[in-house]
Amino acid sequence: MNNYIKITITLAAIIAFAACQKKDLSPVDLNKVTVQYNTAINGKTFHKGDTITVDADIAYTSELNGVMLQIADSATDEILYLDDQDLHTDHFNLQRKWIDTCSTAATLKIIIKVAVANGTEFAENKIQFNVQP
Amino acid sequence: MKQVIYSIVTIIVFAQPAMACDLCGCAASSQYMGLLPQQYKHFIGLQYQYASFTADQPSVFDKDEIEHADEYINTYQVWGRYSISNKVQLFAFIPYHQNRGTDMETPIKVDGIGDITVLANVTLLKQDDCAKKMKYTLLAGGGIKAPTGANKGITKLDEEGLPNVQAGTGAWDFITNANYTISRGKSGLNLDAAYTFTTTTKESYKYGNHLNSSLLYFYQLQHKKLTLLPQGGLKYEYALSDYDNYGRKWLNSNSGGSLVFAAAGVQAFYNHIGARLLYSIPFAQHYAGGNVTTHSRLETSIYFLF
């Protein structure tokens, strides 16, 4: 009987120990989120009907939890394109296409927002380009 | 969302360590084996389990944007017991999964053999003297769940959080369990508990360790060769959080939790044939931060005793 008690106590101790869950406690540093564009968009001019390809490598020293791509009018903040998705990796290649439908000249901005730290912290990368009718 | 689905499936699929006790052969976790008469040493049977859940996961970027998923899990399982001796019993479970559902309107369809579990249990305490009013049995043991089911590892879809539930988990599990049954006359109680220690997949994903337990009351009705065992009680399940990457300690705080079910069912035995039906309704649950709702479960089984 004593052996059973010892086994039970040992097992309970193992389970209790196993219940302790370590987590990545490295401090969040949004400066370490990198967004590297593989297509030249920044400062370029596009025309109505052009397809704008956003191809960007996103990386972080810890886990990426999500990425959001937004294309908006820099002057009015009107959103022309919006998409987001969850991530569970430390690097991701974002590829999206948007067809320029603007009838007036404008400066647009591409914002890539990256969620880290279980979605509690966000890094933002912004570039601009021009559209012409 | 994928991790949430995985976690739920993990609890259901991995909850297979419940054992038959020696007194009346009962077990009461998610993998409820029923009350098995001990005049037969071995059995082989076919089991069907149904479970479903709904997930409403807020988007990382917009909490008002809800990612909705429905999952229906059908498991057909061949299982059996082989008694090596009066004290040692071996159990094996070979599941076949047929999962259906949608995740953000993307269809989920999974068919295939799952992970096989093998367990051994030893009778530690036993009082079955007919002269005594109280009878009891304590069984305990453990086993392993092997990654025999199809698993393609972490795919690009997984990384993007899209549905890609697979038949196998891609990881070994180690299980320990205990089963205590006490009865007096035609009434009895069964307490069953199983704890699963998970390990990592090749990609370092790790499901949370989990506990499955239950407390069931049963009553025996006899009519000639037919034995009926109505039963009812509670089931409790608890799971730690998963790790998206265990090596880097990426704890997925959006997983893990607990569930409490009210369960009722009946078993029937006639000669060498046994059958079982158990229905469980969750009445308290908090899983994945409250974003996942588990619905009722059904377990049915038929087996041949020899």
How many beta-carbon pairs under 8 angstroms link A with B?
A: 74
Q: What is the pLDDT of residue B281?
A: 97
Q: What is the pLDDT of residue B103?
A: 80
Contact across the interface for B250 and A19, Cβ inside 8 Å: no
Distance from CA of B130 to the nearest CA of A (A): 23
Q: How confident is the model at residue B14 (pLDDT cuts 50, 70, 90)?
A: very low
Chain B contact present for A63, CB below 8 A: yes
Contact list, B162 vs chain A (CB under 8 Å):
85
Beta bridge partners of B71: B53, B101
What's the CA gap between B52 and B74, in Å, rounded? Answer: 9
pLDDT beyond 90 at B254: no
Q: How many domains does chain B have?
A: 1
Contact list, A85 vs chain B (CB under 8 Å):
160-162
DSSP code, position A39: S
- Cα angle, residue B164 at apex, residues B154 and A62 outer, rounded to 5°: 40
Average confidence (pLDDT) over B134-158: 82
Contact list, A23 vs chain B (CB under 8 Å):
249-251
Q: What is the pLDDT of residue B13?
A: 37
Which CATH number is B250's domain given? 2.40.128.130
Contact list, B250 vs chain A (CB under 8 Å):
23-24, 62-63, 88
What's the CA gap between B90 and B141, in Å, rounded? Answer: 10
Chain A contact present for B160, CB below 8 A: yes
What own/partner pairs with CB < 8 Å and gap ≥ 24 does B295-299 have? B295/B51, B295/B52, B295/B53, B295/B54, B296/B52, B297/B12, B297/B30, B297/B49, B297/B50, B297/B51, B297/B261, B298/B48, B298/B49, B298/B50, B298/B51, B299/B32, B299/B47, B299/B48, B299/B49, B299/B50, B299/B265
Contact across the interface for A11 and B176, Cβ inside 8 Å: yes
User: Interface pTM (ipTM) of the complex?
Assistant: 0.83
Contact list, B59 vs chain A (CB under 8 Å):
66, 84, 86
pLDDT beyond 60 at B163: no
Q: What is the pLDDT of residue A11?
A: 76
Contact across the interface for A88 and B254, Cβ inside 8 Å: no
Q: Show the domain range for B267.
A: 2-305
Interface with chain B: mutation pick from A24, A60, A88, A96, highest number of B CBs within 10 Å: A88
pLDDT beyond 80 at B19: no
A69-126 tens-digit pLDDT: 999 999 999 999 999 988 888 999 999 999 998 889 999 999 999 999 988 999 999 9
| Phi–psi pair at A12, nearest 5 degrees | -60, -40
Chain B contact present for A60, CB below 8 A: no
Name the residue of chain B whose CA is nearest to A63's CA. B250
pLDDT beyond 80 at B8: no
Contact list, B62 vs chain A (CB under 8 Å):
84
- Which residues in A88-106 are b (16+ Cβ under 10 Å) and which e? bbbebebeeebebebeeeb
A35-79 tens-digit pLDDT: 999 988 899 999 999 999 999 999 999 999 999 999 999 999 999
B272-287 tens-digit pLDDT: 999 999 999 999 999 8
Tokens 């039906």, located at residue: B277
Q: How confident is the model at residue B258 (pLDDT cuts 50, 70, 90)?
A: very high
B35-80 tens-digit pLDDT: 666 678 899 999 999 999 898 888 888 878 888 888 898 999 999 9
What's the CA gap between B83 and B21, in Å, rounded? Answer: 12
Domains and CATH numbers, chain A: 26-132 (2.60.40.2550)
Burial of B34: CB neighbours in 10 Å, binned 0-12, 13-18, 19+: buried
pTM above 0.90, yes or no: no
Mean of all residue pLDDT scores within chain B:
82
B86-105 tens-digit pLDDT: 899 999 999 999 988 888 77
Name the residue of chain B whose CA is nearest to A69's CA. B61
Contact across the interface for B251 and A24, Cβ inside 8 Å: yes
Q: How many other β-carbons are positioned within 10 Å of the β-carbon of residue B239?
A: 26
pLDDT beyond 90 at B108: no
Contact across the interface for B61 and A65, Cβ inside 8 Å: no
